[in-house]
Structure 1
Amino acid sequence: MQRWVSGHPQESGGWALAHYRQSFLADANGLLFPREWLRRQELPLLAEQPLGWFEGQPVHLFELDRPVEMPGCSWQGLRQFLMGAEQDTFRMLGYATQIGTWLRQHRFCGSCGGRMQATAGERMMHCPNCDLQHYPRLSPSMIVLITRGDEILLARSERFPPGMYSTLAGFVEPGESVEQCVHREVQEEVGLQVRDLQYVGSQGWPFPHSLMLGFHARYESGDIVPEPGEIEDARWFSPDQLPMLPPPRSISRYLIDLYLARRSGLPDPVLPD
Protein backbone atom coordinates (compact mmCIF):
# COMPACT_ATOMS: atom_id res chain seq x y z
CA MET A 1 0.00 0.00 0.00
CA GLN A 2 1.35 3.43 -0.96
CA ARG A 3 1.90 5.77 1.97
CA TRP A 4 2.10 8.82 -0.34
CA VAL A 5 -0.63 9.91 -2.78
CA SER A 6 -0.53 13.23 -4.63
CA GLY A 7 -3.66 15.34 -5.00
CA HIS A 8 -5.50 18.45 -3.79
CA PRO A 9 -6.63 17.89 -0.19
CA GLN A 10 -9.25 20.36 1.01
CA GLU A 11 -9.17 19.35 4.68
CA SER A 12 -7.95 21.76 7.30
CA GLY A 13 -5.05 20.84 9.54
CA GLY A 14 -2.76 17.99 8.59
CA TRP A 15 0.94 18.34 7.86
CA ALA A 16 3.13 20.85 6.05
CA LEU A 17 6.57 20.80 4.43
CA ALA A 18 8.69 23.97 4.52
CA HIS A 19 10.75 24.15 1.30
CA TYR A 20 13.37 26.45 -0.17
CA ARG A 21 15.35 25.67 -3.36
CA GLN A 22 15.44 21.86 -3.03
CA SER A 23 15.95 21.92 0.73
CA PHE A 24 13.51 21.12 3.52
CA LEU A 25 13.23 22.31 7.10
CA ALA A 26 13.55 19.44 9.58
CA ASP A 27 13.59 18.92 13.32
CA ALA A 28 14.13 15.90 15.56
CA ASN A 29 10.72 14.53 14.52
CA GLY A 30 11.37 14.76 10.79
CA LEU A 31 10.25 16.97 7.93
CA LEU A 32 6.49 17.09 8.44
CA PHE A 33 5.29 19.85 10.76
CA PRO A 34 1.74 20.38 12.02
CA ARG A 35 0.30 22.72 9.40
CA GLU A 36 -1.52 25.07 11.78
CA TRP A 37 1.54 25.35 14.02
CA LEU A 38 3.78 26.17 11.07
CA ARG A 39 1.30 28.84 9.95
CA ARG A 40 1.75 30.64 13.27
CA GLN A 41 5.50 30.94 12.80
CA GLU A 42 6.98 34.08 11.25
CA LEU A 43 7.88 32.56 7.90
CA PRO A 44 8.73 34.41 4.66
CA LEU A 45 5.99 32.54 2.80
CA LEU A 46 5.91 32.83 -1.00
CA ALA A 47 3.02 30.44 -1.52
CA GLU A 48 1.11 27.58 0.04
CA GLN A 49 0.00 24.68 -2.13
CA PRO A 50 -1.82 21.40 -1.34
CA LEU A 51 0.30 18.38 -2.25
CA GLY A 52 -1.58 15.21 -1.34
CA TRP A 53 -1.85 12.72 1.51
CA PHE A 54 0.82 10.95 3.53
CA GLU A 55 -0.46 8.00 5.54
CA GLY A 56 -3.96 9.35 5.04
CA GLN A 57 -3.21 12.83 6.38
CA PRO A 58 -3.32 15.94 4.15
CA VAL A 59 0.04 17.50 3.30
CA HIS A 60 0.63 21.08 2.14
CA LEU A 61 3.74 22.79 0.83
CA PHE A 62 5.01 26.05 2.31
CA GLU A 63 7.32 27.54 -0.31
CA LEU A 64 9.58 30.08 1.40
CA ASP A 65 11.25 33.16 0.00
CA ARG A 66 14.44 32.44 1.95
CA PRO A 67 15.72 29.91 4.48
CA VAL A 68 14.94 30.72 8.09
CA GLU A 69 16.61 29.72 11.31
CA MET A 70 14.33 28.04 13.87
CA PRO A 71 15.36 26.57 17.25
CA GLY A 72 16.03 22.85 16.98
CA CYS A 73 15.68 22.84 13.18
CA SER A 74 18.05 22.51 10.26
CA TRP A 75 17.83 22.52 6.45
CA GLN A 76 18.37 19.27 4.57
CA GLY A 77 18.86 19.00 0.80
CA LEU A 78 16.76 16.68 -1.33
CA ARG A 79 19.81 14.69 -2.45
CA GLN A 80 20.41 13.68 1.18
CA PHE A 81 17.21 11.63 0.99
CA LEU A 82 18.09 9.91 -2.28
CA MET A 83 20.15 7.30 -0.46
CA GLY A 84 18.47 6.90 2.91
CA ALA A 85 14.78 7.78 2.85
CA GLU A 86 12.23 5.08 2.09
CA GLN A 87 10.62 5.23 -1.34
CA ASP A 88 7.31 6.92 -0.50
CA THR A 89 9.05 9.64 1.51
CA PHE A 90 11.43 10.39 -1.35
CA ARG A 91 8.53 10.44 -3.84
CA MET A 92 6.70 12.96 -1.65
CA LEU A 93 9.78 15.17 -1.28
CA GLY A 94 10.61 14.96 -4.98
CA TYR A 95 7.06 15.97 -5.87
CA ALA A 96 7.14 18.82 -3.34
CA THR A 97 10.42 20.10 -4.80
CA GLN A 98 9.01 20.17 -8.32
CA ILE A 99 5.86 22.00 -7.21
CA GLY A 100 7.92 24.44 -5.15
CA THR A 101 10.21 25.16 -8.10
CA TRP A 102 7.18 25.76 -10.32
CA LEU A 103 5.62 28.16 -7.79
CA ARG A 104 8.86 30.09 -7.39
CA GLN A 105 9.48 30.41 -11.14
CA HIS A 106 5.93 31.50 -12.01
CA ARG A 107 5.15 34.21 -9.49
CA PHE A 108 5.00 36.74 -12.32
CA CYS A 109 3.63 36.54 -15.84
CA GLY A 110 6.27 36.12 -18.53
CA SER A 111 4.03 37.94 -21.01
CA CYS A 112 2.76 41.07 -19.24
CA GLY A 113 4.67 41.02 -15.94
CA GLY A 114 1.55 40.83 -13.78
CA ARG A 115 1.39 38.72 -10.63
CA MET A 116 0.25 35.15 -11.25
CA GLN A 117 -2.46 33.53 -9.17
CA ALA A 118 -2.83 29.90 -8.12
CA THR A 119 -5.97 28.13 -9.35
CA ALA A 120 -8.01 26.29 -6.72
CA GLY A 121 -8.35 22.56 -7.32
CA GLU A 122 -5.93 22.57 -10.27
CA ARG A 123 -2.17 22.65 -10.58
CA MET A 124 -2.11 25.86 -12.64
CA MET A 125 -0.84 29.42 -12.28
CA HIS A 126 -3.01 31.98 -14.06
CA CYS A 127 -2.45 35.61 -15.04
CA PRO A 128 -5.70 37.58 -14.54
CA ASN A 129 -4.38 40.40 -16.77
CA CYS A 130 -3.64 38.53 -20.00
CA ASP A 131 -5.02 35.04 -19.28
CA LEU A 132 -1.63 33.29 -19.59
CA GLN A 133 -1.59 29.86 -17.94
CA HIS A 134 1.34 27.87 -16.60
CA TYR A 135 1.25 24.24 -15.50
CA PRO A 136 4.13 22.51 -13.69
CA ARG A 137 7.04 22.12 -16.08
CA LEU A 138 8.43 18.79 -17.25
CA SER A 139 11.68 18.62 -19.19
CA PRO A 140 12.00 15.38 -21.21
CA SER A 141 15.45 13.90 -21.34
CA MET A 142 17.06 10.66 -22.41
CA ILE A 143 19.38 8.44 -20.39
CA VAL A 144 21.18 5.54 -22.04
CA LEU A 145 23.40 2.58 -21.17
CA ILE A 146 25.69 1.68 -24.08
CA THR A 147 27.13 -1.83 -24.34
CA ARG A 148 29.99 -3.25 -26.41
CA GLY A 149 30.07 -7.01 -26.08
CA ASP A 150 30.10 -7.55 -22.30
CA GLU A 151 31.47 -4.08 -21.58
CA ILE A 152 29.39 -1.07 -20.59
CA LEU A 153 30.20 2.58 -21.18
CA LEU A 154 30.15 4.79 -18.10
CA ALA A 155 31.16 8.40 -17.70
CA ARG A 156 31.53 10.97 -14.98
CA SER A 157 31.03 14.69 -14.60
CA GLU A 158 33.14 16.80 -12.28
CA ARG A 159 29.92 17.40 -10.32
CA PHE A 160 29.75 13.70 -9.35
CA PRO A 161 31.01 12.39 -6.02
CA PRO A 162 34.65 11.24 -6.26
CA GLY A 163 34.94 7.91 -8.08
CA MET A 164 31.34 7.66 -9.24
CA TYR A 165 30.49 6.90 -12.88
CA SER A 166 27.06 6.82 -14.51
CA THR A 167 25.24 6.45 -17.81
CA LEU A 168 24.99 9.23 -20.38
CA ALA A 169 22.03 11.61 -20.30
CA GLY A 170 20.82 14.77 -21.98
CA PHE A 171 17.78 16.94 -22.61
CA VAL A 172 15.58 16.61 -25.67
CA GLU A 173 15.80 19.65 -27.94
CA PRO A 174 12.82 21.22 -29.75
CA GLY A 175 11.89 19.38 -32.92
CA GLU A 176 13.72 16.12 -32.20
CA SER A 177 12.49 12.72 -31.06
CA VAL A 178 13.89 11.07 -27.96
CA GLU A 179 15.69 8.56 -30.21
CA GLN A 180 17.31 11.40 -32.14
CA CYS A 181 18.33 12.91 -28.81
CA VAL A 182 20.08 9.66 -27.85
CA HIS A 183 22.17 9.66 -31.03
CA ARG A 184 22.99 13.38 -30.79
CA GLU A 185 23.90 13.41 -27.09
CA VAL A 186 26.08 10.29 -27.34
CA GLN A 187 27.92 11.82 -30.29
CA GLU A 188 28.36 15.15 -28.51
CA GLU A 189 29.37 13.78 -25.11
CA VAL A 190 31.69 10.90 -26.04
CA GLY A 191 32.06 10.93 -29.84
CA LEU A 192 30.47 7.51 -30.42
CA GLN A 193 27.77 6.19 -32.72
CA VAL A 194 25.20 3.71 -31.38
CA ARG A 195 22.55 1.38 -32.80
CA ASP A 196 19.73 -0.95 -31.73
CA LEU A 197 18.07 1.45 -29.30
CA GLN A 198 15.71 -0.28 -26.88
CA TYR A 199 13.35 1.75 -24.72
CA VAL A 200 13.40 0.44 -21.14
CA GLY A 201 11.29 2.75 -18.97
CA SER A 202 10.90 6.22 -17.53
CA GLN A 203 11.28 7.96 -14.20
CA GLY A 204 10.40 11.40 -12.91
CA TRP A 205 13.58 13.04 -11.65
CA PRO A 206 13.16 16.12 -9.42
CA PHE A 207 16.51 17.77 -10.16
CA PRO A 208 14.72 20.00 -10.79
CA HIS A 209 11.89 18.79 -13.08
CA SER A 210 13.06 16.12 -15.53
CA LEU A 211 11.26 13.16 -17.03
CA MET A 212 14.00 10.63 -17.77
CA LEU A 213 13.35 8.23 -20.67
CA GLY A 214 15.70 5.26 -20.34
CA PHE A 215 17.31 3.26 -23.14
CA HIS A 216 19.75 0.46 -23.79
CA ALA A 217 21.86 0.83 -26.93
CA ARG A 218 24.72 -1.00 -28.62
CA TYR A 219 28.02 0.51 -29.67
CA GLU A 220 28.42 0.89 -33.43
CA SER A 221 31.60 2.87 -34.09
CA GLY A 222 33.98 5.58 -32.93
CA ASP A 223 36.57 6.23 -30.25
CA ILE A 224 35.77 7.84 -26.92
CA VAL A 225 36.34 11.61 -27.01
CA PRO A 226 34.93 13.24 -23.84
CA GLU A 227 33.16 16.56 -24.39
CA PRO A 228 35.20 19.34 -22.72
CA GLY A 229 33.43 20.98 -19.81
CA GLU A 230 30.75 18.27 -19.74
CA ILE A 231 32.44 14.87 -19.40
CA GLU A 232 35.44 14.57 -17.10
CA ASP A 233 36.12 10.93 -18.00
CA ALA A 234 34.44 8.09 -19.93
CA ARG A 235 35.57 4.52 -20.42
CA TRP A 236 34.48 0.94 -21.03
CA PHE A 237 34.06 -1.22 -17.93
CA SER A 238 33.76 -4.98 -17.63
CA PRO A 239 30.94 -6.27 -15.39
CA ASP A 240 33.38 -7.65 -12.83
CA GLN A 241 35.34 -4.39 -12.50
CA LEU A 242 32.72 -1.71 -12.11
CA PRO A 243 33.38 1.66 -10.43
CA MET A 244 31.21 3.32 -7.83
CA LEU A 245 27.71 3.45 -9.35
CA PRO A 246 24.72 5.82 -8.95
CA PRO A 247 22.24 5.25 -6.09
CA PRO A 248 19.96 2.18 -6.51
CA ARG A 249 16.86 4.40 -6.60
CA SER A 250 17.94 6.16 -9.81
CA ILE A 251 17.01 5.09 -13.33
CA SER A 252 20.69 5.26 -14.29
CA ARG A 253 21.44 2.50 -11.78
CA TYR A 254 18.37 0.57 -12.95
CA LEU A 255 19.64 0.55 -16.54
CA ILE A 256 22.93 -0.92 -15.31
CA ASP A 257 21.33 -3.45 -12.95
CA LEU A 258 18.87 -4.54 -15.65
CA TYR A 259 21.67 -5.24 -18.13
CA LEU A 260 23.69 -7.16 -15.52
CA ALA A 261 20.65 -9.22 -14.48
CA ARG A 262 19.78 -10.17 -18.04
CA ARG A 263 23.41 -10.99 -18.80
CA SER A 264 23.44 -13.37 -15.81
CA GLY A 265 20.03 -14.90 -16.53
CA LEU A 266 18.47 -13.40 -13.40
CA PRO A 267 14.96 -11.90 -13.10
CA ASP A 268 14.61 -8.29 -14.17
CA PRO A 269 14.87 -5.83 -11.27
CA VAL A 270 11.96 -3.47 -10.64
CA LEU A 271 12.27 0.14 -11.73
CA PRO A 272 11.65 2.37 -8.69
CA ASP A 273 8.54 4.57 -8.92
Structure 2
Amino acid sequence: MFRPDNEPPPEGIPRLLVVFQRGKLVSDMRSTMPCLLQEEAVRLGGWDVRRSHFVGYWEEQPCFALEIDEAHELEPDTYQVGSLWHLVGRVDEQLFALAGRAAQLLDWERDHQFCGRCGERMQADTRERAMRCARCSVTCYPRIAPCVIVLVTRGEELLLARGRNHPQGMYSTLAGFIEAGESVEECLIREVKEEVGVTVGNLKYFQSQSWPFPNQLMLGFFAEYESGDIVCDPSEIAEADWFHFRDLPRVPPPASVAGQLIGHYINTLVKAE
Protein backbone atom coordinates (compact mmCIF):
# COMPACT_ATOMS: atom_id res chain seq x y z
CA MET A 1 0.00 0.00 0.00
CA PHE A 2 1.29 3.48 -0.91
CA ARG A 3 1.14 6.20 1.73
CA PRO A 4 2.13 9.70 0.49
CA ASP A 5 4.17 11.79 2.92
CA ASN A 6 6.21 15.00 2.84
CA GLU A 7 8.41 14.45 5.92
CA PRO A 8 11.61 12.58 4.96
CA PRO A 9 12.61 9.62 7.16
CA PRO A 10 15.80 9.58 9.27
CA GLU A 11 19.05 8.69 7.55
CA GLY A 12 20.14 5.06 7.53
CA ILE A 13 16.75 3.49 6.85
CA PRO A 14 16.76 1.30 3.69
CA ARG A 15 14.98 3.05 0.83
CA LEU A 16 13.18 2.16 -2.34
CA LEU A 17 13.78 4.30 -5.41
CA VAL A 18 11.70 5.43 -8.38
CA VAL A 19 14.37 6.41 -10.89
CA PHE A 20 14.05 8.66 -13.94
CA GLN A 21 16.50 9.56 -16.69
CA ARG A 22 15.76 12.27 -19.27
CA GLY A 23 12.24 12.40 -17.84
CA LYS A 24 11.70 8.68 -18.55
CA LEU A 25 11.05 5.97 -15.97
CA VAL A 26 13.80 3.41 -15.40
CA SER A 27 12.23 -0.03 -14.83
CA ASP A 28 13.88 -3.26 -13.71
CA MET A 29 12.54 -5.86 -16.11
CA ARG A 30 13.47 -8.69 -13.71
CA SER A 31 11.20 -7.41 -10.94
CA THR A 32 7.50 -7.98 -10.25
CA MET A 33 7.40 -4.32 -9.19
CA PRO A 34 9.49 -2.89 -12.05
CA CYS A 35 9.32 0.78 -11.06
CA LEU A 36 10.78 0.21 -7.57
CA LEU A 37 14.57 -0.14 -7.46
CA GLN A 38 16.81 -0.95 -4.53
CA GLU A 39 19.44 1.53 -3.34
CA GLU A 40 22.21 -0.79 -4.46
CA ALA A 41 21.17 -0.24 -8.07
CA VAL A 42 22.47 3.34 -7.86
CA ARG A 43 25.69 2.24 -6.16
CA LEU A 44 26.40 -0.67 -8.49
CA GLY A 45 25.55 1.39 -11.57
CA GLY A 46 27.67 4.33 -10.45
CA TRP A 47 24.73 6.60 -11.24
CA ASP A 48 25.09 10.29 -10.40
CA VAL A 49 21.91 11.67 -8.81
CA ARG A 50 20.91 15.10 -10.11
CA ARG A 51 17.87 15.58 -7.86
CA SER A 52 15.98 13.64 -5.26
CA HIS A 53 12.59 13.93 -3.53
CA PHE A 54 10.99 11.95 -0.75
CA VAL A 55 7.71 10.57 -2.09
CA GLY A 56 6.15 8.55 0.74
CA TYR A 57 6.02 4.95 1.88
CA TRP A 58 5.45 1.69 0.07
CA GLU A 59 4.41 -0.92 2.62
CA GLU A 60 6.03 1.31 5.27
CA GLN A 61 9.38 1.43 3.47
CA PRO A 62 10.44 4.98 2.49
CA CYS A 63 10.50 5.76 -1.23
CA PHE A 64 12.42 8.47 -3.05
CA ALA A 65 12.17 9.84 -6.57
CA LEU A 66 15.56 10.16 -8.23
CA GLU A 67 16.68 11.75 -11.47
CA ILE A 68 20.02 10.38 -12.61
CA ASP A 69 22.47 11.96 -15.01
CA GLU A 70 21.45 11.53 -18.62
CA ALA A 71 24.97 10.54 -19.63
CA HIS A 72 24.76 7.14 -17.92
CA GLU A 73 24.41 4.13 -20.20
CA LEU A 74 22.02 1.65 -18.56
CA GLU A 75 22.32 -2.11 -18.98
CA PRO A 76 19.73 -2.92 -21.72
CA ASP A 77 19.31 -6.52 -20.52
CA THR A 78 18.25 -5.28 -17.08
CA TYR A 79 16.65 -1.87 -17.40
CA GLN A 80 13.94 -0.46 -19.63
CA VAL A 81 13.59 3.30 -20.01
CA GLY A 82 10.18 4.52 -21.07
CA SER A 83 7.02 6.46 -20.37
CA LEU A 84 4.81 6.01 -17.33
CA TRP A 85 2.22 4.80 -19.85
CA HIS A 86 4.06 1.47 -19.82
CA LEU A 87 2.82 0.92 -16.25
CA VAL A 88 -0.86 1.58 -16.93
CA GLY A 89 -2.75 -1.67 -16.44
CA ARG A 90 0.46 -3.60 -15.70
CA VAL A 91 1.01 -2.75 -12.03
CA ASP A 92 -1.11 -2.28 -8.94
CA GLU A 93 -3.07 1.00 -8.89
CA GLN A 94 -1.29 2.09 -5.72
CA LEU A 95 2.11 1.41 -7.26
CA PHE A 96 1.15 3.45 -10.31
CA ALA A 97 0.11 6.30 -7.99
CA LEU A 98 3.52 6.17 -6.30
CA ALA A 99 5.37 6.32 -9.63
CA GLY A 100 3.11 9.12 -10.81
CA ARG A 101 3.75 11.20 -7.68
CA ALA A 102 7.49 10.66 -8.11
CA ALA A 103 7.37 11.91 -11.71
CA GLN A 104 5.31 14.96 -10.79
CA LEU A 105 7.64 16.03 -7.99
CA LEU A 106 10.71 15.83 -10.20
CA ASP A 107 8.96 17.71 -13.02
CA TRP A 108 7.83 20.38 -10.55
CA GLU A 109 11.36 21.07 -9.28
CA ARG A 110 12.76 21.05 -12.82
CA ASP A 111 10.16 23.60 -13.99
CA HIS A 112 10.64 25.94 -11.00
CA GLN A 113 14.38 26.38 -10.84
CA PHE A 114 14.01 30.13 -11.36
CA CYS A 115 11.48 32.63 -10.04
CA GLY A 116 8.87 33.60 -12.61
CA ARG A 117 8.60 37.09 -11.10
CA CYS A 118 12.20 38.26 -10.69
CA GLY A 119 14.36 35.54 -12.25
CA GLU A 120 16.26 34.63 -9.06
CA ARG A 121 17.18 30.97 -8.54
CA MET A 122 14.57 29.21 -6.40
CA GLN A 123 15.46 27.23 -3.29
CA ALA A 124 13.69 24.16 -1.89
CA ASP A 125 11.95 24.84 1.41
CA THR A 126 13.02 22.32 4.05
CA ARG A 127 9.84 22.81 6.13
CA GLU A 128 7.26 21.99 3.48
CA ARG A 129 6.92 20.88 -0.14
CA ALA A 130 7.64 24.24 -1.77
CA MET A 131 10.15 26.18 -3.86
CA ARG A 132 10.80 29.71 -2.62
CA CYS A 133 12.49 32.81 -3.98
CA ALA A 134 14.73 34.48 -1.38
CA ARG A 135 14.65 37.82 -3.23
CA CYS A 136 10.91 38.44 -3.68
CA SER A 137 9.34 35.66 -1.54
CA VAL A 138 7.39 33.99 -4.36
CA THR A 139 6.39 30.48 -3.28
CA CYS A 140 5.60 27.66 -5.73
CA TYR A 141 3.92 24.45 -4.63
CA PRO A 142 3.60 21.31 -6.78
CA ARG A 143 1.26 22.20 -9.61
CA ILE A 144 -2.03 20.37 -10.00
CA ALA A 145 -4.23 20.86 -13.08
CA PRO A 146 -7.88 19.93 -12.37
CA CYS A 147 -9.73 18.25 -15.25
CA VAL A 148 -13.24 16.98 -15.77
CA ILE A 149 -13.69 13.58 -17.38
CA VAL A 150 -17.23 12.52 -18.21
CA LEU A 151 -19.13 9.53 -19.55
CA VAL A 152 -22.18 10.76 -21.46
CA THR A 153 -24.97 8.18 -21.56
CA ARG A 154 -28.30 7.73 -23.34
CA GLY A 155 -30.02 4.73 -21.82
CA GLU A 156 -28.05 1.67 -22.92
CA GLU A 157 -25.78 3.75 -25.17
CA LEU A 158 -22.46 5.40 -24.30
CA LEU A 159 -21.04 8.40 -26.14
CA LEU A 160 -17.37 7.62 -26.78
CA ALA A 161 -14.82 9.54 -28.81
CA ARG A 162 -11.42 9.00 -30.33
CA GLY A 163 -9.10 11.93 -29.74
CA ARG A 164 -6.76 13.08 -32.47
CA ASN A 165 -3.82 11.65 -30.52
CA HIS A 166 -5.48 8.36 -29.55
CA PRO A 167 -4.37 5.10 -31.17
CA GLN A 168 -6.49 3.94 -34.08
CA GLY A 169 -9.56 2.11 -32.75
CA MET A 170 -9.23 3.39 -29.17
CA TYR A 171 -12.27 5.27 -27.89
CA SER A 172 -12.68 6.96 -24.53
CA THR A 173 -14.78 9.35 -22.51
CA LEU A 174 -14.64 13.13 -22.95
CA ALA A 175 -12.37 15.32 -20.84
CA GLY A 176 -11.15 18.88 -20.50
CA PHE A 177 -9.30 21.28 -18.22
CA ILE A 178 -11.16 23.58 -15.86
CA GLU A 179 -10.57 27.22 -16.78
CA ALA A 180 -10.00 30.13 -14.40
CA GLY A 181 -13.23 31.28 -12.78
CA GLU A 182 -15.14 28.21 -13.94
CA SER A 183 -16.95 25.65 -11.79
CA VAL A 184 -16.52 21.92 -12.35
CA GLU A 185 -20.10 21.63 -13.61
CA GLU A 186 -19.72 24.57 -15.99
CA CYS A 187 -16.55 23.04 -17.38
CA LEU A 188 -18.22 19.68 -17.97
CA ILE A 189 -21.16 21.15 -19.89
CA ARG A 190 -18.89 23.45 -21.91
CA GLU A 191 -16.35 20.76 -22.83
CA VAL A 192 -19.00 18.29 -24.01
CA LYS A 193 -20.67 20.99 -26.09
CA GLU A 194 -17.38 22.14 -27.61
CA GLU A 195 -15.98 18.69 -28.34
CA VAL A 196 -19.02 16.83 -29.67
CA GLY A 197 -21.82 19.41 -29.94
CA VAL A 198 -24.38 17.88 -27.58
CA THR A 199 -26.08 19.22 -24.46
CA VAL A 200 -26.03 17.18 -21.24
CA GLY A 201 -27.67 17.29 -17.82
CA ASN A 202 -28.22 15.32 -14.60
CA LEU A 203 -24.52 15.40 -13.70
CA LYS A 204 -23.39 12.85 -11.12
CA TYR A 205 -19.95 12.78 -9.53
CA PHE A 206 -18.20 9.40 -9.64
CA GLN A 207 -14.64 9.62 -8.28
CA SER A 208 -11.28 11.32 -8.79
CA GLN A 209 -7.88 10.08 -9.88
CA SER A 210 -4.42 11.60 -9.87
CA TRP A 211 -3.17 11.29 -13.45
CA PRO A 212 0.52 12.15 -13.97
CA PHE A 213 0.42 13.16 -17.64
CA PRO A 214 1.88 15.41 -16.48
CA ASN A 215 0.08 16.75 -13.39
CA GLN A 216 -3.66 16.29 -13.71
CA LEU A 217 -6.36 15.62 -11.14
CA MET A 218 -9.17 13.89 -13.01
CA LEU A 219 -12.69 14.49 -11.63
CA GLY A 220 -14.93 11.76 -13.00
CA PHE A 221 -18.63 12.34 -13.74
CA PHE A 222 -21.60 10.73 -15.41
CA ALA A 223 -23.91 12.94 -17.49
CA GLU A 224 -27.12 12.17 -19.35
CA TYR A 225 -27.72 13.22 -22.95
CA GLU A 226 -30.36 15.94 -23.37
CA SER A 227 -30.24 17.17 -26.97
CA GLY A 228 -28.20 17.76 -30.12
CA ASP A 229 -26.45 15.80 -32.83
CA ILE A 230 -22.80 14.77 -32.63
CA VAL A 231 -20.62 17.36 -34.32
CA CYS A 232 -16.94 16.81 -33.52
CA ASP A 233 -14.43 19.58 -32.97
CA PRO A 234 -11.84 18.51 -35.56
CA SER A 235 -9.00 20.15 -33.65
CA GLU A 236 -9.50 17.68 -30.75
CA ILE A 237 -11.81 14.82 -31.75
CA ALA A 238 -11.15 12.53 -34.70
CA GLU A 239 -14.49 10.74 -34.42
CA ALA A 240 -17.27 10.10 -31.90
CA ASP A 241 -20.40 7.97 -31.82
CA TRP A 242 -23.01 6.26 -29.66
CA PHE A 243 -22.17 2.65 -28.74
CA HIS A 244 -24.46 0.07 -27.16
CA PHE A 245 -22.95 -1.20 -23.93
CA ARG A 246 -22.78 -4.75 -25.32
CA ASP A 247 -20.98 -3.67 -28.49
CA LEU A 248 -18.17 -1.35 -27.43
CA PRO A 249 -14.95 -0.53 -29.30
CA ARG A 250 -11.58 -0.78 -27.59
CA VAL A 251 -11.69 1.39 -24.45
CA PRO A 252 -9.16 2.45 -21.77
CA PRO A 253 -8.06 -0.12 -19.16
CA PRO A 254 -9.67 -0.31 -15.69
CA ALA A 255 -6.59 1.36 -14.21
CA SER A 256 -7.80 4.68 -15.63
CA VAL A 257 -10.80 6.62 -14.37
CA ALA A 258 -12.19 6.52 -17.93
CA GLY A 259 -12.14 2.72 -17.84
CA GLN A 260 -13.71 2.73 -14.38
CA LEU A 261 -16.54 5.05 -15.51
CA ILE A 262 -17.33 2.76 -18.42
CA GLY A 263 -17.09 -0.42 -16.33
CA HIS A 264 -19.26 0.97 -13.54
CA TYR A 265 -22.02 2.05 -15.93
CA ILE A 266 -22.03 -1.30 -17.72
CA ASN A 267 -22.30 -3.14 -14.39
CA THR A 268 -25.25 -0.92 -13.45
CA LEU A 269 -27.05 -1.75 -16.69
CA VAL A 270 -26.39 -5.49 -16.38
CA LYS A 271 -27.69 -5.59 -12.81
CA ALA A 272 -30.84 -3.74 -13.88
CA GLU A 273 -31.74 -6.37 -16.49
After TM superposition, the score normalised by the length of structure 2 is: 0.89
Give the letter aligned to residue 154 of structure 1: L
* Structure 1 residues 74 and 200, CA gap change in structure 2 (3 angstroms): closer
SS in 2 for 1:265: helix
Instruction: Give the corresponding residue for 2:147.
Output: 141
Aligned equivalent of 2:192? 186
Write the mapping of 1:159-178 to structure 2, written as runs, cut at 5 A.
159-178=165-184
Q: State whether residues 9 and 53 of structure 1, in contact with CA within 8 Å, keep that contact through their aligned partners in structure 2.
A: no
| Cα distance change, pair 69–183 in 1 and its aligned pair in 2 (3 A) | same
2:27 and 2:79 in contact (8 A); partners too? yes
Report Cα offsets for 1:51-72 as digits up to 9, x if no partner: 1122222211113464732234
Partner residue in 2 for 1:5: 3
In the alignment, the residues of structure 1 paired with residue 199 and residue 35 of structure 2 have an alpha-carbon distance, to the nearest angstrom, of: 46
Partner of 1:153: 159
Equivalent position SS for 2:189: helix
The DSSP-based 3-state class of the residue aligned with 2:254 is: coil
User: Residues of 2 paired with 1:31 and 1:140: CA distance?
Assistant: 26
Question: Shift in Å at residue 21 of structure 1?
Answer: 5.8
Distance in 2 between the 1:185 and 1:108 partners? 34
Question: Per-residue deviation at 1:224?
Answer: 0.7
2:39 to 29, 35, 38: 35
1:81 to 68, 71, 87: 87
Equivalences for 1:3-82 in 2 at 5 Å?
4-7=2-5, 8-12=7-11, 13-20=14-21, 23-27=24-28, 28-29=30-31, 30-35=34-39, 38=42, 43=47, 45-64=49-68, 66=70, 68-71=72-75, 72-82=78-88
Equivalent-residue separation in structure 1 for 2:43 and 2:108 (angstroms): 21
Q: Which residue of 2 aligns with 1:124?
A: 130
User: 1:158: Cα distance to partner?
Assistant: 2.8
Take 1:31 and 1:109, find their aligned partners in 2: how far apart are those partners?
32
For 2:40 and 2:134, locate their aligned partners in 1 and report how far apart those are by CA, in whole Å. 29
Q: Shift of the alpha carbon at 1:32?
A: 3.0
Aligned-partner SS, 1:258:
helix
Whole-Å separation in 1 of the counterparts to 2:110 and 2:264:
37
Query: Aligned equivalents of 1:33 and 1:176: distance in 2?
Result: 42
**Which TM-score applies when normalising by structure 1?**
0.89
Distance 1:52 1:246, change over 3 A: same
Specify the SS of the correspondent of 1:181: helix
Distance 1:18 1:82, change over 3 A: same
Identity across the alignment (%): 42
Alignment check: 8 A CA contact 2:147 2:175 kept? yes
Alpha-carbon distance in 1 for matches of 2:35, 2:223: 40
